[in-house]
Amino acid sequence: MAFQLRFGERDLLRCRFALSPLWETQEAVRTLARPERHGYHLPWLRRVRSAADGLDLRALWLVMPRVGHNPDFLCPPPGSPVVTFAEEIALVRSTPPEAAHRDLALALAETPGAAESETGREMLADPARTVLRFAGLLEQVWERLIEPDWPRLRALLEADIAYHSRRLAEVGFGRLLGELSPRLVYADSTLTVVGTRGDHHRVLGGLGLVLVPSVFTWPEIIGGHEPPWQPAVIYPARGIGGLWTEATDRTPDALARLLGRARADVLCALDEPAGTTALAHRLGLAPSSVSAHLSVLRDAGLLTSRRHSHQVLYERTPLGIALAVSYHHGM
């Protein structure tokens, strides 16, 4: 068994990064039901448990087998580097009934007895209604569990893309894939996902590949999408270990005395590149205050900034890294 994608010359020119709020939403649904994914997300799980308990997600879980086909129409590959949840869920709602029926039948077949269950029969008997039902459920998950934290999640995902885009320029495509995950191996124009339990072989045929970082996918590498969708590989984003940690809990008192508490908090919060809005949300400060602190830290040579997509991302310079690390170690 293997997951393999065969590249041609045109495919290498059409490889790109993208992020997807809908992907994070459906992966959050999976994470709620999979204890092996809970480790990094326990603070989030504790906070959203009450809201999650108010959602009946059993039908979605039925078509989300641990191994094998999951419905592609629930989360088509993002068509551009940055898409909104509204754009993606509108695409889900426009799924043709015949395509939905085919997708659902493949997913239900992965779980013995699922297609013959009452819920499974209802899905297949009226795929158009099922599409709308699932779109509505995903919209509720987005609004209750993901959207309140989306600035934080988006900042981490955009920082991952910015970092790996630089690495692509530095080390090339083949080596970059291995850095995304040791389970990704590129050789002889073929990308292999090591350790998969299903079979998937596809010649890209000029469609290229979408690389999508994900907060909730860890520890898995997920890939596929059957025609006509563009193939995609979803990999765990960098920095999820500190995703739910509040930066103020990590700021050394000595650094706060040197820079001032707020500026020290901003500097220590930048373990990964982030924008003003995400930092303000994380630190509980007004965006205008965070912007002022970022400007001072940048002018002092502790931060650098660059525009990525619709926002400016800030990250620590070598001097800023050295300062933060030294104070963390009690200098």
Contacts of 202 (CB under 8 A, 6+ apart): 4, 5, 6, 231
Together in a domain, 183 and 225: yes
Together in a domain, 156 and 297: no
pLDDT score for 325: 66
Find the domain containing 256 and state its range: 245-328
pLDDT score for 39: 86
pLDDT score for 1: 58
Together in a domain, 196 and 251: no
pLDDT score for 326: 61
Distance CA 108, CA 140 (A): 23
Phi/psi for 204 (5° steps) reads: -65, -35
Together in a domain, 88 and 66: yes
User: Counting runs of H as helices and runs of E as strands, what totals does the chain give?
Assistant: 15, 10
Together in a domain, 164 and 249: no
Peptide bond into 97 cis (omega under 30): no
Together in a domain, 8 and 95: yes
Only one residue has tokens 């009226």, namely 126
pLDDT averages per 10-residue partition of the chain, 331 residues? 84 90 95 90 93 94 89 88 92 96 94 94 97 97 95 83 86 89 90 76 88 91 80 88 65 80 89 84 89 92 79 81 65 46
Together in a domain, 77 and 213: yes
Final residue before a domain boundary, out of 204, 236, 268: 236
pTM (two decimals): 0.76
Final residue before a domain boundary, out of 209, 236, 263: 236
Looking up residue 304, the CATH number of its domain turns out to be: 1.10.10.10
Closest Cα to residue 26, out of 130, 156, 141, 132? 141
pLDDT score for 331: 46
DSSP one-letter code for 265: H
Q: How many domains does the chain have?
A: 2
